[in-house]
Each structure stands twice: as C-alpha cells, then as structure tokens.
Structure 1
Amino acid sequence: MTLNDLGFNKQLDNYRIEQGLDSFEVARVISEHKDRYTVKTAANEFDAELIGNLRFSAESKHDLPAVGDWVAISEYDENKALIHSVYPRTSILERKAIGKLGETQIIATNIDVGIIVLAVNRDFNINRIERYLTICNSSKIEPIILISKIDLIDASELKILLNEIKKRIKNISIIAISNQSQIGIDIIKQKLTKGKTYCLLGSSGVGKSTLINSLMGKNIMITKEISDSIDRGKHATTHRELIVSENGILIDNPGMREVGITDNSEALEITFDEITNLALNCKFNDCSHTNEKGCAIIEALENDELDNDSYLNFQKMERERNFFDSNQEERKKKDKDLGKLIKRVVKQRKKHKF
C-alpha cells in the first residue's frame, strides 16, 4: 500500500515540505476513541495520541484530529505514535451537535463523496434524504443516494418509491441495492475510484456495514441480525472507521438519529434549487412566500408545479438554520464576554500583586 492509496496527493505533499514537516511520518486518522486515535501509514497502523502543545493550543474540537484527517506523526514505542500536526482539510462533513446549541459535530474530513444510505422499510423518508443532501452540499462534496434492502419489496413497489424520490430530488445518482442478493453492488463498485474517500451516511440498521463487507468481498465489519420487532438491522457500528479497499477509501459511521442543520444557507439553496430559482421570480424582494400575491412559489404550489412536502421540509430546515445561527452568535458573544472577564481578572491580580 502507498500513501496515494490512502488519498495522499501533491497538494498535501507540498504543504508537508513548506511547513517543515518532512522529518515526520505522514499518516491518516482511521478511527477515534475519545482522546486516542488509530492512524495508518503506508506500512503500519499506530495507536496515537496528541503532543501536549497541540492539545492545549486547540481552541475547539475542530482543531483536533478527526477521522479522515492527515497528520504528522513520530513513533515513540512499538505500534505507538505522537501526533504533532494536522494537515489542512479539503472538506469537513459536519452536523449540528446533538443537545448543544450553536455547536457543530464533525462527522469526517477530507471526503470526496457522501454515500447516503436509506432502507426501503422503516427508515425510508425523503425528508431525511434532503437533510443528508444539505450537509453534503454544505461541505461541497458529491452525494450519491443508495436505496438498500430492495429484496424486502417487489418490483412495482420499488418503482413507485424511486419515482417518489426522483420527483423531489433531481440530478443526483440513485442506486437501488440488496446486500442479500448483491443487486446493484457492481454498479456501486464502478462508481468508486482508487484514492478517493467515500463516507457512508444513514440511520442505524440500514446496511452500511454490510455494504462495506459486500464491497470488500469479505466480512471485515461486524453486523447484526435483523430484528423481527422493528423490521430493521440492529446497530453494530459504534465509532467512525476508515477502511481502505482496492476501489477506494470507505468511512463507516454510527447510525444518525438526528441530522441537524447548521448555518450554511448556500447549502440549503443548492439542495432546494427549484425553490431558490422560483423565489427569484417573486414580485417582491422581501417576499415571505406565505400569502403574498405575485409569489412565484405560492403559484407553483397551487399549480402542482412544486412538491408541497419538499417546500414544507425546506421551511422547517430554514427555521433550524436560523435558530442555529442565532444560538451560534449568542455562544460567540458569551465566549467573548468570558474572555474579557478572564483578562480583567488577570489584570486586577497583577495590579494588586505589585
């Protein structure tokens, strides 16, 4: 295996030389466990930890390594290494942090393609697809939609389901697959490119780990049997993990119950480009698209030219984006006020000391 097989490129190599990191080994983070990491070089894997300076100089979790990151390391014991620096990221796939207002959570970094996986049974929800598309668009990475477990429905049901998706989502590759019968697996393999990184996104039990096993041709990921009570696979993946295959680099993720939207309005505009384009034709620049005469969106809804469910989902996600944005500004203000308070206390202590 070479570093190129892991996704290393000329731009990263130039950065390594320019920043004087050529005395360190190059590695990629393949898994993260709290404060410890597993990193992979062209020849070995290491249990790695951060040097103190890197840990204490980090202003937020975004400054710390994540799965997919390139890092500069040095070996200090058998299969152990220290992480000295994190290379610049080409993309950051993230969502709103669960239970934390105005904060984001990194899913993975340096992703080329997001593979959105939904099962035809209980998991299927076009609103959820639009959410995944939005976080992909926010990161400026190409999305592919996989509809899994098609062996659970007949051909006519599948056709109806695919038509429902295509009615709302345009110009995105949609592949129907079955890990049981292997239908569609060869089509996915043809879309994978050696050296590119693909991140699997989806809820628990939709078959992401099983898909990786199918693509690898061997059982490298733990999977669990289907639950009769909820008609879905049981969740097996407990942490993010990067796997290198002959066809590309795959990142498996724990299932996401929530796909929270951050403050990227451009990503929403890309996902719902039909609505965005209609809004440009509204009579008023400040149109709320709710009850104004001359509103192009309202006219499109009334004439069945725009899907109502898609518009409702857009409105909901836009409200979430605005809410996230306001809480992020509030959090920044609190951080700023706290910084001022600390400086004031330090200044007063110095004054009383002398």
Structure 2
Amino acid sequence: MELKDLGYNEKTEKSRVQQNLTDYEAGRVIAEHRERYIVRTAQGETEAEITGNLRYSAKSREDFPAVGDWVALIMYDNNTALIHQIIPRTSAITRKAAGHTGEVQIIAANVDTALLIQAVDRDFNINRLERYLTLCYAARVSPVIILTKTDLITEERISAITDAIRQRIPDVPVIAVSSITGNGYDALNSIMEKGKTYCMLGSSGAGKSTLLNFLSGREVMHTGDISQSTGKGRHTTSHRELLVLDNGSILIDNPGMREVGIADTASGLETTFDTLLSLAQHCRFKNCTHTNEDGCAVLEAVENGTLDESLLGNYLKLEREKAWFETSQAEKKRKEKIFGKILKDYQKKDIKGKKI
C-alpha cells in the first residue's frame, strides 16, 4: 500500500518538507491504545511509541498523536518505531475532555468530511446534531448527516424528520439509510471519494458499526443490541480506528459519545447558528443576551415564528458551555504560570534554599 492510499497528498508532503522531516519515515496513526500506537507506513503496520522529548514538550492532550495523524517515525528492525514528531494537521475534530477541566480531546485528525450518525427510532435529536455541527465547523470539516435504522419507522415519519432537519439546518446534506433494505447506501457510497478521510460521529447504538460493516462489505466491527432497560446502545467500538475501504476512501470509526462537550468553538458556533447571529446584528444592544432585552431582534423572530425557539435555547446552552470552558482554560493557564514561576525560582536556589 502506498502512502497516497492512506490519504497522503501534496499538502502533507509540503508540511513534512517545511518541518525538515524528510529523513524520517512517514506514517499514519490508524489506532491508539493508551499512548501506544499502530502506525501504517508504505511498508506495512508497525507498533510505535512517542519519544521522551515529545512527551516532555507536550503542553496538553492536543500535542499527543491521534488517530488520523501523519507522523515522522524512527524505524527499528523488530517492527517497532518511535514517533519523533507530528506532521502539522490540516484539521482536528476536538471536544472538551470528559472529566478534565479546560482539557481538549482530539477525536480525529486530518479529516475531510464528518458523517454525523443518528438513528431515527430512539437516538434522533436535532440539538445533538447542532453540537456535532459546531465541532465540525470549528475544525473546518464538512458535515453530512446520516439517518440510520429507517426501516423501523414509516416513510411519512422519515420525511417529517428530514424536513425538520432541513428547516433548521438547511445547508447540510441529509442521507437516510437502512442496513436491512439497503436504501440510501447508493447515495452514501457516491459521496465517499478515494483518498479522502471520513470520520463517523454519533452516540452508542446509533448504528455506526453496522454502517461501517455495510460500507466495507464485511464484518469489520461487531454490532450490539440496544439495552432494553435504558434504551441506549451498548458500546460496540472500544477504540478509535482508521480503515481503508474497498473503494479507496478512508474511514475513522469512533466509540459512541454520550458526552459532546463544547470546547474552543467560537467559529463553530458562528457557522452553526449563522441565521440567529445574523438577526442578532439588528438587536438594540450590542451586548444583547437574547434572553429578556427590549429591542432584541432574536426574541422578536421567535415570537413571530420565523425562528425556532428550541434553536435559540440550544444556542444559549452551547454559549454557556463555551464560556465555562474558556474560563476553565484561563484558570488552568493561570495556575500553570504560577507553578512555572515557583519552579523557576526553585531552580535558581541551591539545596539550602539560598539563591545561586
């Protein structure tokens, strides 16, 4: 397999040259297991770890390799390697790391298109779709909405869901598919281009593994049933993994996400809610919160029915999350700065505490 079959292109080569990495082997991270990586090169797959220098210089999770990354490798004879450096990313889909204040987690790197997967029977939620859209737009990744399990509802219900999406999210393609009937897969296959990288985003039980199996023509991932007690899907994908499909397109599968935390996504919110923010330019006050102000053009649009009230509610919720994340991140940086000063002062003293 050649590097171009993994998505290597002129832009990646240019970055590699600019970073003076041409003396290293180039490879793409196809899986990660607790900071141990599987990297695919032109010669095949190899296990890899990061160098101590890369680990030491990393300031956050974003500085570690992620699935989809192109990396510069030092190869060894026993089919192992050291990752010397990450070749600069063209895109990175990120979210707020679960349980880590102010931390960002990379979902997938160097993605061209994100497939936003939602099952129409239990999982469908436009608010969640807008969360995924915000992550995509912040990463400058094109989104496509995929509705799965359409054989479980009527054609009328499918049409109603599709119309509701297009009314609220007008400029994003929507494809409805069924792994039972095969409906919609021709349309989906038609957008999957050779050499392009796609990433599946969706909650557990949305049908991502079934979708992957159908696209690949074989059982790549095991599928699970919906829990009868909770109505939620069981996790059938336990880790992120990059696969090359038979048609030459590249697909990154992800574990189901029950928490889609908003991180540094100001540009993402602006694009997702561009209709609302266009109205906001006509508000009486520049710092209008769109909650109770007189002369608020957004509230007026909600009252006269030209703007969906639930869209406004979702926007305000995501804005609060973004503000909270930015505050947490600023506090984290403040504490790191204080600690750095303490460490610097300590290093200037000898063992007895006297300044050198």
Shorter chain as normaliser: what TM range? Answer: over 0.9
2:140 counterpart residue number = 140
Contact 2:205–2:225, Cα closer than 8 Å, also in 1:
no
Bigger shift: residues 281-290 or 204-213: 281-290
Q: Structure 2 CA distance, aligned partners of 1:17 and 1:136? A: 28
Q: What residue number does 2:150 align with?
A: 150
Q: Which residue number corresponds to residue 167 of structure 2?
A: 167
Map 1:319-334 to 2 at 5 A: 319-334=320-335
Residue 214 of structure 1 corresponds to: 214
Please list every run of 5 or more consecutive structure 2 residues that lacks an aligned counterpart in the other structure: none
Which runs of structure 2 are paired with 1:241-280 in the superposition (5 Å)?
Answer: 241-245=241-245, 246-280=247-281
The number of residue pairs the alignment matches comes to: 354
Deviations 1:233-257 (A, max 9, x none): 5321000000011241100000001
Deviates more, 1:50-59 or 1:13-22: 13-22
Structure 2 residue aligned with 1:95? 95
Instruction: Return the letter of the residue paired with 2:69.
Output: D
**In structure 1, the residue corresponding to 2:258 is in which secondary structure?**
coil
Q: Which moved more, 1:230-239 or 1:63-72?
A: 230-239
Identity of aligned residues (%): 50
Secondary structure of the 1:349 match is coil
2:302 is matched with 301
The 3 A distance-change label for structure 1 pair 348 and 46 is same
Q: What is the rounded CA distance, in whole Å, between the counterparts of 2:197 and 2:268 in structure 1?
A: 21
1:291 aligns with 2:292: yes
Is residue 193 of structure 1 aligned with residue 182 of structure 2? no
Counterpart Cα distance in 1 of 2:15 and 2:325: 34
Answer whether contact 2:134 2:269 (CA < 8 A) is retained: yes
Instruction: Tell me the CA shift for residue 43 of structure 1.
Output: 3.1
Residues 274-305 of structure 1, C-alpha deviations (whole Å, 9 max, x = no match): 10000011122222222333221111011000
User: Aligned with 1:222: secondary structure?
Assistant: coil
Indicate if the aligned counterparts of 2:133 and 2:272 stay in contact, CA closer than 8 A.
Answer: yes
| Number of the residue aligned with 1:39 | 39
Q: Aligned-pair distance for 1:207? A: 1.0
* Structure 2: distance between partners of 1:35 and 1:292: 50
Which residue of structure 2 lines up, in the alignment, with residue 352 of structure 1? 354
Tell me, in whole angstroms, the C-alpha distance in 1 between the residues paired with 2:289 and 2:32.
44
Cα-to-partner distance string for 1:32-91 (whole Å, 9 max, x where unaligned):
011210000123001111222222222222111111100111321332222112100011
Cα deviation digits, residues 188-226 of structure 1 (max 9, x gap): 110011111111000001111111111111111222244
Cα displacement (A) at 1:229: 4.3
Alignment-mate amino acid for residue 77 of structure 1 = D
TM-score between the two structures when normalised by the length of structure 1 = 0.95
Q: Which residue of 2 aligns with 1:67?
A: 67
Distance (Å, rounded) in 1 between the aligned partners of 2:144 and 2:261: 19
Unaligned runs of 5+ in 1: none
Q: How does 1:69-84 map to 2 (within 5 A)?
A: 69-84=69-84
In structure 2, the residue corresponding to 1:47 is in which secondary structure?
strand
**Matched letter for residue 279 of structure 2:** L
Amino acid in the other structure paired with 2:22 = D
How far 1:107 moved relative to its partner?
0.6
User: Any conservation in 1 of the 2:61–2:104 contact (CA below 8 Å)?
Assistant: no
Task: State the TM-score, normalizing by the size of structure 2.
Answer: 0.95
The equivalent of 1:120 in structure 2 is: 120
Alpha-carbon deviation of 1:21? 2.2
The amino acid of 1:322's aligned partner reads A
